[in-house]
Amino acid sequence: MTIKVAVAGASGYAGGEILRLLLGHPKYLSGELEIGALTAGSSAGTPFHEVMPQFPQLADRVLEDTTPEVLAGHDVVFLGLPHGHSAEIGRQLSDETVVIDCAADFRLRDKGEWAHYYGGEHAGTWPYGIPEMPGHREEIANATRIAVPGCFPTGATIAMLPAVAAGLITPDIAFVSVTGVSGAGKKAAVPLLGAEMMGNLRAYNTSGRHRHTPEIAQNLSEVTDEDINVSFTPVLAPLPRGILTTASAPLKEGVTADAAYETYRAFYSDEPFVHLLPEGHQPQTQAVLGSNMCHVQVEVDGRAGRLVVTAALDNLTKGTGGAAVQCMNLALGLPETAGLPQVGVAP
């Protein structure tokens, strides 16, 4: 039996990353997974190789329109559409189709937060695709509708989940996440030009304006009754891919460095895609490039009285497309790690 997969938004970075992983997936290599429709918005009608030259195998494909008709008849449909487009499409696909949405549409539970950060009608909430969060793996495995998390919330959540769950900190957390430029998407805009971004660093959507802020708070709230306070500062840096998240928060009294490290070790000991580094070593994004891994370190800053956590992931892999394929694996009952690299392309 062949699994037939469509990718809506195949001209974008999320869609491209999903395809890259699918073409290396053991089910594809054995002929049991087939790439069906590849759709786009304004690029519909364009030969696929013109927008994605890295896929010689799909060089004869042409991008189709993103319509329910084109996407019908697939076992899995990945949606890599701009925010606000997934709800309508999702509604019209069969309930038996596994629909995995990379946009924000179905991530938030709070209508007020949705209205404040995205505007328009709240489409609803789908099972949220971080299998490493307690209970989520099982929920995803039983779902046919899955919301892939944002790239920043993935790193921030993995960084602080054990600390919040175990009460190591007062959850008044300052996150600063440095990101490669692909996180901004594939849209023609002067501030995203190579000449504007190379040799340059700048923060943006600071002071709680970034739409990932409420998503981070929502995730961490799942494992505590305390109020979560999130300060989130994203910084653009000149590399194509990668997010390095730094997080710090006031340490609760009596928490030692050893206890903190052991909490993290135990929390992630069975996770195939989270790697707590040996003590004394810091995560780096190069070590996870193109992989589905998140590398983590946790330390105590005794002088400042804070817990300091750092986490590295590839925003397009574990941060988007890899998480999407990981969720597909779970939803289809395949091995969770199938087709997902665990070694980064370093150097």
Cβ atoms of 107 and 128 within 8 Å: the answer is yes
Report which of 220, 245, 241 is spatially closest to residue 230, judged by C-alpha positions: 220
CB of 148 to a second copy, least distance (A): 19
Identify which of residues 69 and 279 has a Cβ nearer to a second copy in the complex: 279
- H or E element, residue 174: strand 172-179
Identify which of residues 78 and 232 has a Cβ nearer to a second copy in the complex: 232
The CA angle 129-133-139, to the nearest 5 degrees, is 55
Cβ atoms of 74 and 37 within 8 Å: the answer is yes
Greatest pairwise CA separation for the chain in angstroms: 63
Separation between Cα atoms, residue 200 and residue 115, nearest integer Å: 33
CB of 104 to a second copy, least distance (A): 18
Q: Return the axis-axis angle of helices 213-221 and 151-166, rounded to nearest 10°.
A: 30
Distances (CA, A) of 223 to 86, 128, 151, 200, 302: 28, 15, 20, 37, 25
Identify which of residues 59 and 88 has a Cβ nearer to a second copy in the complex: 59
CB of 223 to a second copy, least distance (A): 20
Report which of 52, 53, 21, 49 is spatially closest to residue 35, judged by C-alpha positions: 21
Identify which of residues 145 and 295 has a Cβ nearer to a second copy in the complex: 295
Separation between Cα atoms, residue 118 and residue 101, nearest integer Å: 16
Identify which of residues 55 and 106 has a Cβ nearer to a second copy in the complex: 55
CB of 62 to a second copy, least distance (A): 13
* 151 tagged catalytic: yes
Distance of CA 217 to the CA centre of its chain: 16
CB of 101 to a second copy, least distance (A): 22
The token duo for 15 is: 């869609």
Residues designated catalytic:
151
